[in-house]
Every structure is written in structure tokens, then in C-alpha cells.
Amino acid sequence: MRYAIVVVLFAAGCSQQSAGPPPVATAHGSSGEHGHSHERDKMMLADAGPYHAALTAHLSSKDGNELDVFIETDETPPKPVALPVTAFTATAKRADGKEFELKFEQAPVDERPKDEPAGACSHFVAKAPWMTAADELAVTAELTIKGRPRTVTWAKFNPKKYAHHED
């Protein structure tokens, strides 16, 4: 498994990360420099160390809009990876410059793998009532993966394009 991070906004190609600031993983929703797509179905993928972090939208006028993050292996087919946390925060910045804090929490039990251990999670959900289908967002999360802090950013995320549910 590779430990290189794709930094699409700041540099082309991959590099090995060593001591210093946390690695930054960014996805644009198009082919990455790793030679694999950074979008799959209705998800935008960002490299998160040895894993992928997948972002998707749930657009519902009835239940409210949400964002979902899935942590998974970087293999085919991907497998869920439960991080040793049950929540994390992120920031969403709209194209107009307005920022929103997101509180990602464990998805309901029936939406996570049955064998996921207590105190760990691979699927997180955040309420985003301010989000519209037409928004263009940059979502940034600070995650600790395999003991290392990582900044994961999904740039130019369009909720309509990446909506797994819409009503």
C-alpha cells in the first residue's frame, strides 16, 4: 500500500511525506496523479494517507441536507476502514466565501458495517441545512490516520453532482 499523498492544488505528482506539517490531500473530482479517478459514482474521493476519504451529499427538502464521509481502503473493491473516533469537525467554504462548521458524527448503526468495533467509525454524517444543490464547496477536515494528523480537502464539491439521494 502506498503512503504518498496527492497534492493537486499545490504541486503535481506524488511525494513521500516525512516530519513537518500535516500532509494535505486534495480532490478535484477528476483524474488524480496517482493514475486512478478521484470520483466514483456519486462520491468525490480524496487521498487520506493510505486510505481514501469519500464525500457525498444527501439532498432532502423533507429530512434536511447532509454530507457523508466514508473512510475506505485504496484498493479495488474498496473496504471500509473504521478510524478510532466517533466524530470530527470540518469546515465548508462556499464559492461566495461564506464558511460553515460541520460536525460529522457516526452514521446510524444500520448504515455502517456490522462488524465495526465500538468507539470506531468508517461512515460519518453531518447536517448541512444551509447547503443548496447548486453550491460549490471546499470541505476541509483534520483527521488523525494511523497516528498522523492529516488535512483532507475536497475542492470544487458540487452537492447536486455528488448527491447519493435527492428529493
Residue 75 pLDDT greater than 70, yes or no: yes
Angstrom distance (rounded) from CA 121 to CA 80: 9
pLDDT band at 39 (very low <50, low <70, confident <90, very high): confident
Do residues 73 and 51 touch, judged by C-beta distance below 8 A?
yes
pLDDT band at 61 (very low <50, low <70, confident <90, very high): very high
Instruction: Identify the weakest region by mean pLDDT among 20-24, 38-42, 80-84, 143-147.
Output: 20-24
Q: Which residue in the block uniquely carries the three cell numbers 444543490?
A: 133
Residue 41's pLDDT is 85
CA angle, 37 then 57 then 102, to 5° = 110
**Rounded average pLDDT over 58-65:** 94
What is this structure's pTM?
0.79
The DSSP secondary-structure symbol of 146 reads T
The DSSP secondary-structure symbol of 115 reads T
**Rounded average pLDDT over 90-101:** 97
Fold of 5-166: Immunoglobulin-like (2.60.40)
Residue 2 pLDDT greater than 60, yes or no: no
Residue 96 pLDDT greater than 60, yes or no: yes
Do residues 65 and 131 touch, judged by C-beta distance below 8 A?
yes
Grid cell at residue 25:
490531500
**Rounded average pLDDT over 21-42:** 49
Angstrom distance (rounded) from CA 30 to CA 48: 16
Angstrom distance (rounded) from CA 82 to CA 13: 28
pLDDT: is 150 or 37 the higher one?
A: 150
Do residues 133 and 151 touch, judged by C-beta distance below 8 A?
no
